[in-house]
Structure 1
Amino acid sequence: MSKIVDAATAVASIQDGSTVGCVGVIGWVTPDALLKALGDRFRHSQSPKNLTFYFPVGTGDAQGIKGMDHVAQEGLMKRIVGGSYINPVDPVTGKRPELMRLIRENKIEAYSWPIGATMHWLREVARRSPGYMTHIGLGTYIDPENGGGRFTEKAHDDLVRKIDFEGRPYLFYPSWKLDTVFIYASSSDEFGNLSFENEALVSSNIALALAAKAHGGRVIAQVRRSVPYGARPASEVRIPGVLVDAVVVDPAMMMTTDVAFDAAFFGGKRKPLSQLPPIPLTADKVVALRAAKEVHKRELSIFGFGAAADVPLVMAEQGIFEGDGLKDYWFTTEHGSYGGIVMSGWQFSANLNPDAILDGVSQFDVIDGGLCRFAALAFAQFDQRGVVNVSKFGVANPGAGGFIDIAESATRLVFTGTFTTGGLEVSFEGGKLRIVKEGKVRKFTTQVEHITYSVIGGVKRGQTAQVITERAVFEVAPEGLILTEVAPGIDVRRDVLDQMEFAPWKVADDLKMMDAQFFIERPLQAKAG
């Protein structure tokens, strides 16, 4: 009997009070038809009610691929546990995601876990262990002493505990079952055998399926196409049909935001780097250009969302990867794409022209094992204690994503971002930077709103760390920040020190100027180390 059904039929058996897990990485590998069908079912029938949703990664873009916003409805969603949240302004409606409204207005129980935990927890559920134990995240917002990952006041339950094991503290995430999971693949036959031959990411697909089936749950897959039984080599089938209960075919599903389909994202067809669009000279580009100087050859380097993701792109623009140059640079993201070029914006997470793609759980084995020695990450706030925040600030509630695992496990850290935000305007004149209008929000603050990671704590453990902005570069020492570089045209007192809510530990005696090339709108010839 064929397992292929329509989306409404696939979600019809979900009961009140169930727990639903779902794959997705922004717009990538998002089973949008299934989430929409479940949201439509509730909208038309007010059933099912009071569901708990488990999203290992923020799912959808809340625009053309609505993802988790389809199910962000009071009454349908009781609780959500997410590895990250999506918070863009829709250019058509001018509104932020409905899920963000539910969180801001305390309408649901919302929790944010690091993506390393959301991935590894699935493995523990799948093998029916008591739960996931880790030292990663101690002292951060996920630590019960700092809130335990709660994002709303309604979130009363302790989903994370602090325990002692052999005299050392750990965080413990108890297991609970997933009743239904939504996954995403390229192809399926009538028996539900799934392959990912046209996908840029695997993410949590396999882990979700195993976790659900271990406790008698249902697995529903959304795919691009159905294929005849036996038409693919068994080595291409990553999830066997015995683990799949229903399949929905959606030939029109998008690969990701603004990309209907592009084989260059899974290595099916290499795209010349000359076809990458030029990056206009902005404050963010200056940050990326300076951060690129910290990238070394033959060192596994991982890049986070934001200005950090622009680093490989500006290196490509400089011509560093011409010929076989790219083979000397080993790039990845927290989502498992290896080689090629890390992309930015809505295409972040997958790499262009990748060499290999790991699943989400295995990728965090790589990250937590310290194999990504260099990490470039964004920052929203940095305080006088040496604590960085990217997880919750102002009206934004993005969560930590992979930040905590990456920051804690890398050897060399670079934190990237503009010096201030909220209306910052700059101009470039003759290789110099001019602040036209200062940002309203200071990012170097007395105390961060949320503890994502203690950078000074990492430095005391032997890490090295820098903070790179468009106008200043700091080294992080155990005692605090050392101002080591400033941009040409910048007044140290007016544009740097007076825009901080605390004083750096010291200004370097040999304070250097950032390279004037970074501030000129023309092709650059500099080479990375």
Structure 2
Amino acid sequence: MKKNKVITAAEAIALIGDGDVVTTTGFVQSCIPEALHAALEERFVETGAPKNLTLIMTAGAGDSKGLGTGRLHHKGLLSRVIAANFGRMPKVAQAATNNEIVGYNLPQGVISQLYRACAAGQPGLFSKVGLHTYVDPRHGGGRVNAVTQDEIVKVVEVDGEEWLFYKATKIDVAFIRGTSADPSGNISMEKEALTLDSLAQAMAARNNGGIVIAQVERIVDDGFLLPKDVRIPGILVDCVVVAEPEQHRMNYGVQFNPALAGQIRVPVTGIARMKLDARKIIARRAAFELPLNGVVNLGVGAPEGISSVANEEKVTPYITLTTEAGAVGGVLASGSSFGAATNADCIIDQNQMFDFYDGGGLDMTSLGMAECDEVGNVNTSCFGGKLNGCGGFINISQNARSVVFAGTFTVGGLDVAIENGSLKILQEGKSQKFLKRVEQNTFSGPYASERGQPVLYVTERCVFQLTKQGLELIEVAPGVDIERDILAHMAFKPIVNEPALMDARIFRDEPMDLLSDLLNLKLCERVSYDAERNILFLNLEGWQVRTKSDIDDLRKVLVEACEKAGKRVNSVVNHDGFRISDALYDDYAEMIEHLMEEHYATTTRYTTNGFLRLKMQEALKKRGLAPHVFERKEDAHAFVERASSVNAAFGEDTEEAAAA
């Protein structure tokens, strides 16, 4: 006879023993098995059991005020916590800070993938995620306090490359959540915003001889659920608990929204525009980095505004926004619904999303920053004496093809105004973010630089770029004084050459026509031709090469201009404020080589950026091209004028004549 697995929450929680390892699901405020957490808290308060549990969880699961895993703060209930986020259970975080419990703060994606390792009976996980951060055992091994002694992260070498090995912890009890269950324990998730790691968690507990407790909204008859709708098979589930509606909310702020569950699609054209304040300035500047036809992840805080700006600028159809929780496409939700999406294309499991991220699937991410130092390290995990945790930050920031850290320049009372297209600092923040050294290293600037990863740090008043020498100030907002408003509020002096002004459109309360920039629709306006002197001028000031398609667009515009001239031309290119990913220098040099072979008599370029000059010269030399990259505009013009005269005298249209 089939067993009816439906029991009360108290009966299910009674199966947990002292010292058990318990894992639970949930992402920020969504998909939390609140009834199970409440029943566990109630049993412990009333009986003192079960005690000395180990809690394993990925993202924070609570409201930061005592719900979710925040219920498990009672002294003696937990003895060890392995989590990516402590911020949503502040009393548990305080216990860890006070050395009352053992604690590890590991990357969210690593914990998510460790569930699968546990399920497969593997000893752990090999990953590069966390190298050169506080998770690296050479820098702390993810331990959050002095009483945490055991090493669960090791550095290993495989074929000459460094990897981290994360030890798996066997799971005794898994709390999972779904929408419907039949008496046999088959679980569906039709009204859930996310699927998260429930399947992997259930399999990990089941294969370790543990128990799986599923919280659901309702019970349906055997055979009612279609096979493909079952996300957790009954063979993995021991107990099913039906929760009261208040303890089975979609998230703490929403009882149920069918658009977040993917049951309906709703129009999003009516989304309100953000007001023009510091947050929108940051989001607007960061939006200039969006890769067309690329896959993007946005973090909490200032980066969330990028989604709104993209929608306002009609860019959304040209990018795919994702969340580490598993949402792909649509409009990312914020507030209590963060992690979900309206009109999502699909929802995949969290561990699968991190597989995609870790493998380099993200074209760009924008993440917040609590602290930043002179070599580009960023801290978001532990600052001001508060243990927050890294969440998915390390997985995402280390593996995205480009990273934009976004946040205000100072914090604590900062007040700014935009007057006549200029930024005015009305009141400075009480605390600095740009420090000599971060309190904890959640992102390694030197490691990113070593790997050639493009990294920007965007604030409301300026933009920094990561270089091998450290942070370089590359853009300043109109109205901002570098000495008074920037350097005076930093604990170190960045590299300062000739920073450009941030785009003036950012500071006007009207659409920026960002789509034209991202689609390179106005590239032709950057080209002019002086027929009398046979000189083609190309102004790439402030332009950015994000992908190879940008180079293809530029090649097309230049070929058309040269063909219109009807003969080989001499070209001068302004590269001031120009930016290009390290991975694209050779493609860019290949374009120049093609133009030299087919259309140019000679070419020269100039930029005040010494690093760019060096990289450009290296790329040109590799292709056997003369590396004419000058620092001053006047030198570049003098060279091409001289080359043009020599060409005319020799009656030839080649650079060999110019060299003569």
TM-score by length of 2: 0.75
Q: Offset at 1:248? A: 1.0
Matched residues in 2 for 1:439 and 1:106: separation?
Answer: 32
Offset from partner CA, 1:161-187 (integer Å, 9 cap, x none): 223334433211222211101001111
Q: For structure 2, which runs of at least 5 residues remain unmatched after alignment?
A: 519-660
Offset from partner CA, 1:167-208 (integer Å, 9 cap, x none): 433211222211101001111111110111111211111110
Correspondence 1:151-230 to 2 at 5 A: 151-230=144-223
**Equivalent in the alignment of 2:603:** none
Q: Is the 8 A contact 1:309 1:348 kept in 2?
A: no
Q: Offset at 1:247? A: 0.9
Q: Is the 8 A contact 1:313 1:343 kept in 2?
A: no
Offset from partner CA, 1:302-340 (integer Å, 9 cap, x none): 11222112211222133x15xxxx432111011110001
Q: Is the 8 A contact 1:306 1:344 kept in 2?
A: no
Q: For structure 1, which runs of at least 5 residues remain unmatched after alignment?
A: 88-95
Q: Report which structure shows greater RCO (CA 8 Å, sep ≥6).
A: 1
Matched residues in 2 for 1:459 and 1:139: separation?
Answer: 12
Secondary structure of the residue aligned to 2:284 is helix
Relative distance call for 1:197 and 1:156 in structure 2 (3 A) is same
Q: Offset at 1:104? A: 2.9
Q: Is the 8 A contact 1:74 1:108 kept in 2?
A: no
Q: Say whether 1:9 aligns with 2:4.
A: no
Correspondence 1:248-327 to 2 at 5 A: 248-252=241-245, 253-318=248-313, 320=314, 326-327=316-317
Matched residues in 2 for 1:392 and 1:501: separation?
Answer: 19
Secondary structure of the residue aligned to 2:138 is helix
Secondary structure of the residue aligned to 2:147 is coil
Equivalent residue letter for 2:376: G
**Equivalent in the alignment of 1:443:** 433
TM-score by length of 1: 0.93
Matched residues in 2 for 1:466 and 1:115: separation?
Answer: 23
Matched residues in 1 for 2:7 and 2:190: separation?
Answer: 22
Q: Say whether 1:399 aligns with 2:389.
A: yes
Relative distance call for 1:192 and 1:380 in structure 2 (3 A) is same
Equivalent residue letter for 2:492: F
Correspondence 1:334-373 to 2 at 5 A: 334-373=324-363
Offset from partner CA, 1:462-519 (integer Å, 9 cap, x none): 2111110000011211112221211122111111111111111223x2x322234433
Q: Offset at 1:289? A: 1.1
Q: Is the 8 A contact 1:223 1:251 kept in 2?
A: no
Matched residues in 2 for 1:207 and 1:431: separation?
Answer: 52
Which structure has the larger Rg over C-alpha atoms? 2
Q: Offset at 1:524? A: 5.2
Secondary structure of the residue aligned to 2:240 is strand
**Equivalent in the alignment of 2:75:** 74
Cα-Cα RMSD: 1.7
Relative distance call for 1:107 and 1:521 in structure 2 (3 A) is farther
Matched residues in 2 for 1:467 and 1:175: separation?
Answer: 35
**Equivalent in the alignment of 2:408:** 418
Matched residues in 2 for 1:517 and 1:384: separation?
Answer: 29
Q: Is the 8 A contact 1:61 1:86 kept in 2?
A: no
Matched residues in 2 for 1:476 and 1:466: separation?
Answer: 6
Q: Tell which deviates more after alignment, 167-176 or 247-256.
A: 167-176
Secondary structure of the residue aligned to 1:307 is coil
Relative distance call for 1:364 and 1:7 in structure 2 (3 A) is same
Q: Tell which deviates more after alignment, 257-266 or 214-223.
A: 257-266
Matched residues in 1 for 2:136 and 2:103: separation?
Answer: 16
Q: Say whether 1:46 aligns with 2:71.
A: no
Secondary structure of the residue aligned to 2:305 is helix
Q: Is the 8 A contact 1:415 1:466 kept in 2?
A: yes
Offset from partner CA, 1:87-144 (integer Å, 9 cap, x none): 5xxxxxxxx8322322332221121000111011111111111111112211111111
Q: Is the 8 A contact 2:58 2:391 kept in 1?
A: no
Q: Say whether 1:102 aligns with 2:95.
A: yes
**Equivalent in the alignment of 1:90:** none
Q: Is the 8 A contact 1:59 1:86 kept in 2?
A: no
Matched residues in 1 for 2:463 and 2:294: separation?
Answer: 22
Q: Offset at 1:210? A: 0.9
Secondary structure of the residue aligned to 1:473 is strand
Matched residues in 2 for 1:272 and 1:228: separation?
Answer: 35
Q: Offset at 1:520? A: 4.1
Matched residues in 2 for 1:455 and 1:299: separation?
Answer: 24
Q: Is the 8 A contact 1:313 1:342 kept in 2?
A: no
Task: Please point out which of 492, 499, 514 is paired with 1:502.
Answer: 492
Relative distance call for 1:122 and 1:85 in structure 2 (3 A) is same
Offset from partner CA, 1:374-394 (integer Å, 9 cap, x none): 111111111112211111111
**Equivalent in the alignment of 2:84:** 83
Secondary structure of the residue aligned to 1:439 is coil
Secondary structure of the residue aligned to 1:273 is coil
More helix by percentage: 2
Q: Is the 8 A contact 1:338 1:356 kept in 2?
A: yes
Secondary structure of the residue aligned to 1:264 is coil
Q: Is the 8 A contact 2:381 2:442 kept in 1?
A: yes
**Equivalent in the alignment of 2:507:** 519
Equivalent residue letter for 1:260: Q
